[in-house]
Amino acid sequence: MLNNTGHLLIFLVMFLSLTIIYKSYLELKINSQKISNSIYQLSLFQCTFAISSFLVLIVAFINSDFSLINVYENSHSAKPLFYKIAGAWGNHEGSLLLWINILVIFSYFFLIFNFNHLKKFRLLTLIIQNLLILGFVIFLLKNSNPFSALEPVPSEGLGLNPILQDPALAIHPPLLYLGFVGCSIYFSAAMASMLANYRGKSFALSIKSWVLISWCFQTLGIIVGSIWAYYELGWGGFWFWDPVENASLLPWFAITALMHSVMVLEKRDNLYSWVIILCLLTFILSVTGTFLVRSGILNSVHTFASDPARGIYILIFLSLMILSSLVIFFKFYKKENYSFNFKSKETFILINNWFMTFFLVTVFIGTLYPIFLDVLTDVKISVGPP
């Protein structure tokens, strides 16, 4: 029964995504500053259904409902209740559902809290965010369904990987996801800003809090992961120059640079294009990290859910994201005049951004260079910490 309920809720989330995109598109043509109540209601329903689907999965884990493949493969009736609950997001399928939940929640919150911004900008943000939601829901239903049923129902599950049976599992993934998936909202807002020509201080004010929220959760998630890796034997200590650890650090550098440069946009109405690049880059790097880890391209002690078939879907999705953001960026790009006095705050913020970019590029090359070298020349090397 739970698998049907779960499927129904996921389909409703998908249907609502399509409806929100359609209604928002129609709403763009109406000359009024107010967004109609129906869009708010649809977003609220979408949020409720997404959260409910996740609660259904948690209930399935608590009840050890082995009629679901996901529960059978990742749980066991003898497992303590705490790990049964945390186990719901301790696997690929469950974590993807959590990912969708965060996309949906941020979409709704952006709609209700940014009420004083341009209607066209908000609607376009909503449309792009729902395209992202749609993409991930299709991925979930097609390839990573947490509600897939199993027949005949086994009497016992295979159990959760003991390494993951740790209190940190309860908080580390949700915190990281809030941070990484939270970046999606200003990815969407950045695209919408270019399309709606909503630039400068107004755009900076619309994303500033969201950047800060995702930065806080990203940092906190990385710290909790670091503490976990410190006491978990075999994970090499609190920082190991491990590909997964590095993949989590890449968006952090971008978001830290963004958090600083968005101040220049707010106070001086400058660095708009650079802020847009950072908004796009942060979420693209988050999805890139997910692709590298889930596809099995990067071998890591922290990889628990790799599958090349999933990797292809994420790669296609990632390519579409990069391509569409590049097309929109270059189509709507306007030349800016960057002339800062050396003895000014903005110059030092720019220096901060150079450092962050340098660190990002160093870690990126250090993490991916061995893979490219292996593919192109068949030479295997490893790159250590700088």
Partner 1 sequence: MVFGPQFNWINSNKFFSTKLIILILGAVGVNLFIFFIFGSYSFLTNLIFISSIFLIFYSLIELKKVLQKKIKFNLPRIISHLGFGMLVLFIGINHQYSLEDDFNLKVGDEKKFSHYEIFFDDIKLKEETNYKAVIGNFRVKNIKNDTTQSLNPEIRIYANPETLTYEAAIKTRISSDLYLTMSNISRSDFYNIKFQNKPFMIWIWISALTIVLGGFLQLLNRRNEN
The alpha carbon of residue 84 and the mean position of all alpha carbons in its chain are separated, in whole angstroms, by 24
- The verdict on 315 binding partner 1 (CB under 8 A) reads no
Contact 293, 303 (CB under 8 A): yes
The CA-atom distances, in angstroms, between 314 and each of 63, 105, 143 are: 32, 21, 11
- Count of residues binding partner 1 (CB under 8 A)? 42
Sign of CA dihedral 290, 148, 159, 88: positive
- The verdict on 268 binding partner 1 (CB under 8 A) reads yes
Among 1, 233, 379, 381, binds partner 1 (CB under 8 A): 233
Contact 148, 70 (CB under 8 A): yes
Give the Cα separation of 226 and 220 in Å (integer). 10
- The verdict on 309 binding partner 1 (CB under 8 A) reads no
Q: C-beta of 71: minimal distance to partner 1 in Å? A: 13
Contact 167, 82 (CB under 8 A): yes
- The verdict on 219 binding partner 1 (CB under 8 A) reads yes
Residue number with CB closer to partner 1 (20 or 349):
349
Contact 370, 383 (CB under 8 A): yes
- The verdict on 236 binding partner 1 (CB under 8 A) reads no
Q: C-beta of 344: minimal distance to partner 1 in Å? A: 6
Q: C-beta of 213: minimal distance to partner 1 in Å? A: 7
The letter for the amino acid at 331 is K
- The verdict on 197 binding partner 1 (CB under 8 A) reads no
Residue 149 pairs in a beta bridge with 68
Which tokens go with 366? 């250090």
Give the Cα separation of 217 and 309 in Å (integer). 30
Q: C-beta of 190: minimal distance to partner 1 in Å? A: 19
- The verdict on 376 binding partner 1 (CB under 8 A) reads no
326-355: contacts with partner 1 (CB under 8 A): 341, 343-349, 351-352
144-183: contacts with partner 1 (CB under 8 A): 156-159, 161-163, 165
Rg (CA), the chain: 21
Chain positions contacting partner 1, by CB under 8 A: 76, 78-80, 83, 156-159, 161-163, 165, 208-209, 212-213, 215-216, 219-220, 223, 226-227, 230-234, 238, 267-268, 341, 343-349, 351-352
